[in-house]
């Protein structure tokens, strides 16, 4: 079930956290993973996948740089001849209350979390349209669905991913390309380490399932949406949040 055998899959932000686990789980299901992050930051991910018997390669990618995105996509096409799955996972947070938020905090978060999805999706769409198949999965957040004080920039970028994906899903459905969103709640990674440590009790009380999520919880949802079994699902937001927002 949920085999990804031979599917050429790009995962952005694959150097650590959720992206690293998505890359590992997809490779363990047979995907050929292009693990993308800045510089050779995804080398550790690729080494671990290869050691476990999977197939993966490092790609140097800055999602805010159009030239870098174009080079990563054309390199993937040269090596593999097709692109089956794009996972837009790379993301940052620059939290600040609105009155103190700097324009640069807004611009950087929107460029990394939202404009990157536009750039990457546009770059993979041509080959996917030609193939008449493809999967585009973007990692949003519960914060994009319910808001969070101090995260106006982050919430806007993550809510933007949802609207973007629904519009694109309608555009490309006739080519058998599906476009979906996974919206995690609080997941233990570098991004949330401090936050979770500071407010352990608070978060737990807001989560019906009573715990923070794991990167494996999120990766499993992404693998499902990338699989053949999910071929009739498009324009959807799959929440992986322990019931925090229903
Ligand atoms: P993380 O541990 O901080 O990892 C972020 C990843 O994004 C890294 O691999 C980083 O790669 C990459 N990245 C950042 N800027 C980039 C850029 N300009 N170009 C290429 N790659 C870039 O974060 P995470 O917690 O795993 O989060 C992954 C995604 O899930 C994000 O989109 C985040 O918003 C979302 N999310 C997380 C949570 C959570 O609770 N953790 C909840 C909901 C949603 P480098 O090596 O290049 O820095």
- Reading the chain (246 residues) residue by residue, the pLDDT tens digits are 899 999 999 999 999 999 999 999 999 999 999 999 999 999 999 999 999 999 999 999 999 999 999 999 999 999 999 999 999 999 999 999 999 999 999 999 999 999 999 999 999 999 999 999 999 999 999 999 999 999 999 999 999 999 999 999 999 999 999 999 999 999 999 888 777 776 666 777 899 999 999 999 999 999 999 999 999 999 999 999 999 999
pTM: 0.98
- In this prediction, residue 199 carries a pLDDT of 63
**Which residue out of 11, 18, 161 has the highest number of ligand 1 atoms within 8 Å of its CB and is therefore the one to mutate?**
18
- The count of other CB atoms within 10 Å of the CB of residue 209 is 13
Q: Is 56 inside a domain boundary?
A: yes
**154 catalytic residue (yes or no):** yes
Residue 1 domain-assigned (yes or no): no
CATH code for the domain in which residue 132 is found: 3.40.50.720
- Residue 133 CB-density burial (10 A; 0-12 exposed, 13-18 middle, 19+ buried): middle
- Output the pLDDT for position 194: 75
Structural domain includes residue 206: yes
Cβ of residue 45 lying under 6 Å from some atom of ligand 1:
no
Residue 245: inside a domain: no
Q: What share of the chain is helix, strand, coil (3-state, %, to 5)?
A: 50, 15, 35
Number of domains in the chain: 1
Domain range for 172: 8-240
């Amino acid at each position: 079930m949920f085999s990804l055998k031979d599917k050429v899959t790009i995962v952005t932000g694959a150097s650590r956290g959720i992206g690293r686990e998505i890359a590992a789980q997809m490779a363990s299901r047979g995907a050929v993973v292009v693990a993308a992050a800045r510089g050779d930051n995804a080398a550790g991910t690729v080494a671990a996948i290869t050691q476990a018997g999977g197939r993966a390669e490092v790609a140097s990618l800055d999602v805010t740089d159009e030239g870098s995105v174009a080079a990563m996509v054309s390199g993937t096409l040269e090596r593999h001849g097709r692109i089956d799955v794009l996972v837009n996972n790379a993301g940052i947070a620059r939290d600040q209350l609105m009155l103190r938020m700097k324009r640069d905090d807004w611009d950087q978060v929107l460029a990394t979390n939202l404009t990157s999805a536009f750039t990457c999706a546009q770059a993979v769409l041509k080959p996917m349209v030609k193939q008449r198949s493809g999967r585009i999965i973007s990692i949003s957040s519960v914060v994009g669905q319910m808001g969070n004080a101090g995260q106006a920039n982050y919430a806007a970028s993550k809510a933007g991913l949802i609207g973007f994906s629904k519009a694109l899903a309608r555009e490309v459905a006739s080519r058998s390309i599906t476009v979906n969103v996974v919206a995690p709640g609080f997941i233990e990674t570098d991004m949330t380490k401090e936050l979770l440590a500071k407010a352990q009790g608070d978060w737990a009380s807001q989560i019906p399932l009573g715990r923070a999520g794991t990167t494996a919880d999120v990766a499993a949802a992404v693998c499902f949406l990338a699989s053949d079994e999910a071929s009739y699902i498009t324009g959807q937001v799959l929440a992986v949040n322990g019931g925090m927002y229903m």
